[in-house]
Homo-oligomer: A and B are copies of this chain.
Amino acid sequence: MRVAVQSAAFDLGAEVAAFTDSVIGAGAVVTFTGIVRPDGGLTAMEIEHYPGMTEKAISDIAAQAVARWALADALVIHRYGSLKPGEAIMMVATAAPHRADAFQAAEFLMDYLKSRAPFWKKEIRAQGEAWVAARDEDEAALRRW
Q: A-side interface residues toward B, CB under 8 Å?
A: 11-18, 20, 23-38, 85-86, 88, 97, 99-100, 102-103, 106-107, 110, 141
Rounded to whole Å, the gap between the CB of A75 and the closest CB of chain B is 13
Chain B residues with CB below 8 A from A25, complex form? 37-38
Give A31's nearest chain B residue, CB to CB. B31
Chain B residues with CB below 8 A from A107, complex form? 99, 103
What are some 23 contacts across the A-B interface (CB < 8 A)?
A11-B17, A12-B13, A12-B16, A13-B14, A13-B18, A20-B35, A20-B88, A23-B35, A24-B38, A24-B86, A25-B38, A26-B35, A27-B34, A27-B35, A28-B32, A29-B31, A29-B32, A30-B31, A30-B32, A32-B99, A32-B102, A99-B110, A103-B107
